[in-house]
Amino acid sequence: MYNCICQIVPGLFMLLNLVYTQDCNITVHDHLSEQVKIADCSKRGFSEVPHALPRDITVLDLSGNKLRHISNYSFENYSLLHNLSLAKNKLHIIEDHAFYGLSRLKVLNMSENILNLRYVYTPQMLLPLQNLIDLDIRRNIPNQPTVDLYHYPDQAFAVLKKLEFLALDMAPNPIFGIGFQGLKNLKSVTFEFCFLKYLRGYTFENFSSNLDELKLTRCHLNFSEVENNALVPFPNITKIHFEESCMHLIGALNMLSPYNGKTIEILNFRGLNCPIFNSKEYPFALTITSDMMRHLKTICVEVLDLSDNGIVDFDENSLLLFDRTECLKHLYFKGNRFAFAYGRHMDELKSFFNKSVALKTFDYSYIPVRFKLKEKDFYHQGQDYHVSNNLVYLPRSLEKLAMSNIICEDIGRIFYIRQGSNLTYLDISFGYSNNAVLFEVNATNKVETLVLDGHFHWTLHQIELVNFINVKTLLWRNAGLDEFMMRYPPDDNLKRFIALLRKLRYLERLDISKNSIFNLPENVFFNNGHLSELSLSNNLFQSIPSQITSNNNMKSLDLHNNLLPTVDHKTRVWADLMNQQHGLYFLLDGNAFECNCDNLDFIKWIQETKVKLDTRSYKCTLLNGSVITVLEAYEQMHDLFSGCRNSIWVMVSSILIGTGCIMTLLLVIYSRRWNIAILFYRIFRKIVEKKYGKNYTFDVFVSYGGDSIPWIKNYFIPKLEDEWKLKICIKDRDFYGGHSFYDAEAESIENSRHVIFLLTPIFKVSQECLFEIDRVKHEISMRNLENIIVISKDTTLKGITEGLTHIWNYVLFIQWLEDCNDHDFTWQKLRKWICNDLIS
């Protein structure tokens, strides 16, 4: 008995060890002609360093576990490690010999722990890490330290002689002691969680003077007082990131004295303006003076970001005057509040652009300056005003121009793009200004991305002039495109739009979401051969535009937040095909899907298709109004929709049981009739949706029962055809044999502008009538039901099925009173309805 247990227990232990090692993914790669063996143990719930990993691993990722402390000799058996990540744990204690054996380690990541910088690190602990190059211990001080002077562990860090990259947090009043002199190879320092209050001239004095990159970002808890000589210890720096630190642009610019006449690659001074600035010395609304620019002016800077600094104006020869304008490659003025006024401002801008021969990016977006006020009219300029004064030539080197979201209603400014320009990206979305971007002939040939969100008129007029033949991405969201898309007959804007789409032969991505479009004009096509990403989301589509299925390259189709009740069969087949060929991402969430008998195919398809969908549990509405998900509908199909199949079930069972030929025959006819009716209804629905933008064969299609034929012959036809000169379609006269009745009827309705139901006693009880009314009721949400007119003749409303009362508000109803002698008024009414949109 005892023996037994004793044998089992070691077995269990071994098993546990095995489980641990299996938990980590061990992979071998070739990296720069070296073999690296990676142990991926991230997010496995470890609370201590796993012991049983292969001894020759070179990379160990233990991030996202539950480690609280690292004990002595934890890594002694992994002496080949050169990358070790302990990020995102709960580390707060590291024992002195924890890193024993890691003499080859180059990268150590302990970010996002709770290691106290001031106490945890000792020289003994870091001593084994002789070859460490990259130490990441940022995000370890979650709250503002309360101590007055925060001494960084300089003696401990001093042993890291090879360190090049250091990332850590910044205390309010930091002291970097003499030990930092030991980090002679330090190239890049990043401060991440930043509580900085004081940056003194001596703060960085013990850092290596070879430093190349300093990131001191998001120090926005307090105003950071910076002394002008704080950067003097870094004479060779080429990348300075101060973005979102509340040190004020004036403070940052004043620190640049060590770099007079030198070259700096990146100067990121974005968002140094904070609401706490409210004094004369540090004003919230800033006017740039030439004194502030005295250092920056002399620097050869490649990337200059002055976004979001509350700049409202600039003095003469300040913001736009650089000794070496030709150095500038990327310039960001985004989110300030200054404009280029007539006269000096414009002249300086023109001369600036003339000299910036290497400029690739110019971002002057999100600039609110002046709203349009009615009483102010800038169009009547002074005597010497001439349009050419406000013509600004942009440099040919410019590749990206962002002038979106500008509100500046004063003078017109014309930004002129010349032939041979390198412009590839143009964003002129939203905003309200008299600024215009004009292109010389063939100057648009290189444009690949066009962002036109928020507008349509003005842009469209330009489009005739230019030739965006190489555009690959067109974003035209939120631009009220429905204004002309829905117009019938097509107006000039629609023609321009269609012409534009035709021009964009290489278009790959088109986004026209948020435009309230519910129908695409018939001649808008998407089969240009390259289009693979289309977004029609946040519109009002009630059916998927049929043009889409003519495209063979679609990889992403976004139709979420529309009013689709279903996805039709043709689209589903197409989607499966697209997915088979090159994968398809199909977004459909937020539509008005219906879970009813008509839609069972769709519900099944959603669960069974291999197309990548945004979800498989779209909301859908049951006939009784309850909302469930299509997944629930699929799972409970049997219970929810058993009614749908009753007839089929009866039929099948009757065939099986063989209760008699007559019965079977009847059922077959009955169920077929139902199928035909459904088919007819589907076509009918499509027709109503397609009515926009069509050339109709008939003005009116009349649906009626046999008892009204004399009336139609004697009154209706003479009135509409002979007197009003309308073309009407009457099934007994205009349908020919050979064709199936339902097909012919469907086709005729499709080609008719209006549909009139003549409601007579016989028609009322006919299957057709019941079916159609039921369907119309079903479709009350559709907008185009105004095309349906019901004339009730020889019958009162009383007997009409309850169904019709539901659609009351959506059809035009005429009661034909037989005993009334004067029908003129009724005819007039009808004429008005039928002819109204013919006239307009």
Q: Which residues bind ligand NAG (CB under 6 A)?
A: 25, 31, 36, 51, 59, 63, 71-74, 76-77, 83, 85, 87-88, 95-97, 107, 109, 111-112, 134, 136, 144, 175-178, 202, 205-206, 209-210, 221-222, 235-236, 350-351, 354, 393, 396-397, 422, 441-442, 622, 624-626, 640
Which of 632, 707 has the CB closer to ligand NAG? 632
The C-alpha atoms of residue 173 and residue 203 are separated, in whole angstroms, by 9
Question: Rounded to the nearest whole angstrom, what is the least distance from the CB of residue 142 to ligand NAG in the complex?
Answer: 13
CB of 201 to ligand NAG, least distance (A): 10
The 3-state secondary structure of 196-262, one letter per residue: CCEECCCCCCCCCCCCCEEEECCCCCCCCEECCCCCCCCCCCCEEECCCCCCCHHHHHHCCHHHCCC
Our CB check for ligand NAG shows the closer of 140 and 787 to be 140
Q: In this structure, how many other beta carbons lie within 10 angstroms of the beta carbon of residue 78?
A: 23
- The b-or-e profile of 490-529 (16+ CB within 10 A means b, else e) is beebbebbbebbebbeebbbbbbbbbebbbbbbebebebe
Give residue 581's identity as a one-letter amino acid code.
Answer: Q
Q: Are 236 and 209 in contact (CB under 8 A)?
A: yes
For residues 402 and 449, the answer to whether their CB atoms sit within 8 Å is no
CB 642 to ligand NAG: min, Å: 10
| Cβ count within 10 A of residue 795 | 17
**Minimal distance, residue 442 CB to ligand NAG, in Å:** 4
| Residue with smaller CB distance to ligand NAG, 173 or 664 | 173
Q: How far is the CB of 639 from ligand NAG (least distance, A)?
A: 7
Minimum CB–partner distance for residue 467 and ligand NAG (Å): 7
Residue 11: strand, helix, or coil: helix
Q: For ligand NAG, which is the closer residue by CB, 104 or 727?
A: 104
Give the residue with the Cβ less far from ligand NAG, 194 or 306: 194
Q: Both tokens of residue 19?
A: 């489980």
Minimum Å gap between C-beta 808 and ligand NAG is 23
Nearer to ligand NAG, 98 or 306 (CB): 98
Nearest to ligand NAG of 83, 556 (CB atom)? 83
Question: Which of residues 391 and 663 has its CB atom nearest to ligand NAG in the complex?
Answer: 391
Element spanning 263, H or E: strand 263-268
Shortest distance, position 66 Cβ to ligand NAG, whole Å: 15
397 or 493, CB closer to ligand NAG? Answer: 397
Pairing state of beta strands 406-417 and 432-439?
parallel
Q: Provide the minimum distance between the beta carbon of 509 and ligand NAG in the complex, in angstroms, as a whole number.
A: 23
Amino acid at 189: V
What is the per-residue DSSP string for 89-118? S---EE-TTTTTT-TT--EEE--SS---TT
Q: Which residue is nearest to ligand NAG (CB)?
A: 397
For the bound state, the minimum distance from the C-beta of residue 727 to ligand NAG, rounded and expressed in Å, comes to 46
Q: Dig out the tokens for 529 from the structure.
A: 């051969």
Structure-token pair, residue 300: 């050869």
Residue 626 C-beta: closest distance to ligand NAG, Å: 4
Q: Are 338 and 312 in contact (CB under 8 A)?
A: yes
Residues 750-765 as b/e (b if ≥16 CB within 10 A, e otherwise) read bbbbbbbbbbbeebbe
Cβ 682 to ligand NAG, closest distance in Å?
A: 24
3-state percent breakdown (helix, strand, coil) of the chain, nearest 5: 30, 20, 50
- Could you tell me the CA-to-CA distances from 489 to 461, 492, 728 in Å, in that order? 19, 10, 21
Provide the minimum distance between the beta carbon of 135 and ligand NAG in the complex, in angstroms, as a whole number: 8
Q: Which residue carries 């290189």 as its tokens? A: 446
Kindly tell me which of 286 and 349 has the beta carbon lying closer to ligand NAG. 349
Tell me the CA distances in angstroms from 551 to 121, 261, 491, 563, 793, one per residue in order.
62, 57, 26, 22, 48
Instruction: Give whichever of 619 and 686 is closer to ligand NAG, judged by the CB atom.
Output: 619
Distance (Å, whole) CA 90 – CA 86: 9
Residue 537 burial (C-beta neighbours within 10 Å; 0-12, 13-18, 19+): buried
Q: Which is nearer to ligand NAG, 48 or 410 (CB)?
A: 48
Q: Is 396 or 831 the residue whose CB approaches ligand NAG more closely? A: 396
> Smallest distance from the beta carbon of 441 to ligand NAG, in angstroms?
4
Nearer to ligand NAG, 239 or 396 (CB): 396
Q: Which residues, in sequence order, are bridge partners of residue 816?
A: 793
Interatomic CA distance for residues 485 and 311, integer angstroms = 41
Is residue 315 within 8 A of residue 293, CB to CB? The reply is no
Instruction: Quote the least distance from Cβ 629 to ligand NAG, whole Å.
Output: 13
- Contact at 8 Å (CB) between 193 and 138? yes
Q: Where are the alpha helices (DSSP H) in 276-427?
A: 344-355
Q: Which of residues 70 and 475 has its CB atom nearest to ligand NAG in the complex?
A: 70
Measured from the CB atom, the residue of 144 and 740 that comes closer to ligand NAG is 144
Closer residue to ligand NAG in complex, CB, 441/669: 441
Q: Which is nearer to ligand NAG, 71 or 523 (CB)?
A: 71
The Cα-based distances of 770 to 797, 802, 804, 815 in angstroms read 14, 11, 9, 19
Residue 593 CB, shortest distance to ligand NAG, in Å, is 16
CA neighbours closer than 13 Å in the CB half-sphere of residue 313: 6
Give the strand pairing for 330-332 and 361-363. Answer: parallel
What is residue 315's three-state secondary structure? coil
373 in helix, strand or coil? coil
Quote the least distance from Cβ 139 to ligand NAG, whole Å.
8
The radius of gyration computed from the CA coordinates of the chain, to the nearest angstrom, equals 38
| H or E stretch covering 682 | helix 661-690
**Shortest separation between residue 422's beta carbon and ligand NAG, angstroms:** 4
Alpha carbons 592 and 687: distance in angstroms, whole number: 20
Q: DSSP letters of 21-44?
A: HHHSEEEEEEETTEEEEEEE-TTS
